[in-house]
Amino acid sequence: MICVSVCVVAVLGFYLSLIATSRSLSFDQRGKVTAAVAILEAQGFTGEATLLRRVTVFRSSDNWFNAMVPKESAFAATNFPFEIMTLYSDFFTYPIDDTERAAILLHEARHLVGGDEKDAYSYVWKNRAKLGWTRDKYAGSIVWKNVRVQTREYSPEMFVCQDKEFGDCSE
C-alpha cells in the first residue's frame, strides 16, 4: 500500500511538473484547436476527437522534459502516457487552414495512444482523403510537403510506385 502510494505521488508529481513548467494556450490558440478537433469529429475520427477534447492537456511551450529531448517536429510534441500535447508557434502559423491543423492533431493523437512515428505518419497519410486533406487542394502547402517527405522517411514501402508522383502508391 505504501509502495503504491509512493508511486502514485511520484507519477502525479511528474505530471504536475510537466504542466507547471509550460504555458497554457491563449484564447485565440484554443479557438484554433477547437476548430481543428471539430473537423476531425466531422470527418469521422470520433475516437481521436474525443481523446483530444476530453483527455488531452494542451500547452503552448515546452515543459522541462521536452526541453531535454530532441524535438519531434516543429509543430507539436506529445508526452505519452501523460496525454500532454505541446503545440509550437509553427502549428498556428504554417498550416493554411483548420484541416491542416487537424492533420497534425491526428498525427499527435496516434502518439496519445502510444503509436511511434512510423505509425503516426502512415496513419495520417493513409487517412488523408477521409480527412479531406488531398493533393488537389493542398499540394502547394508547406505542411503537406513536409509531412509527405517525413512519411516517406518512416514508411518507404508506401512510396515505391515509380509511375506515381513522388512514388506515392496512394495517389
Under the rule (CB under 5 A), what is the footprint of Zn ion? 72, 117, 120
| CA–CA gap between residue 20 and residue 144 (Å, rounded) | 33
Q: Considering beta carbons, is residue 119 or 168 the nearer one to Zn ion?
A: 119
| Closest residue by beta carbon to Zn ion | 120
Secondary structure of residue 84 in the 3-state scheme: strand
CA quadruple 129, 31, 104, 51: dihedral positive or negative? Answer: negative
Q: Considering beta carbons, is residue 111 or 159 the nearer one to Zn ion?
A: 111
Q: Considering beta carbons, is residue 22 or 78 the nearer one to Zn ion?
A: 78
Nearest to 106 by CA among 24, 46, 169, 167: 46
Q: Nearest 5 degrees, angle CA 35-CA 39-CA 44?
A: 150
> Nearest distance from residue 37's CB to Zn ion, in Å?
18
Answer yes or no: are the C-beta atoms of 120 and 111 closer than 8 Å: yes
| Alpha carbon 83 to chain centroid, angstroms | 11
DSSP structure class, residue 140: T
> Nearest distance from residue 85's CB to Zn ion, in Å?
11
Q: Considering beta carbons, is residue 99 or 122 the nearer one to Zn ion?
A: 122
N-to-C CA span, the chain? 56
> Nearest distance from residue 77's CB to Zn ion, in Å?
8
> Nearest distance from residue 69's CB to Zn ion, in Å?
13
Q: Considering beta carbons, is residue 84 or 120 the nearer one to Zn ion?
A: 120
> Nearest distance from residue 117's CB to Zn ion, in Å?
5
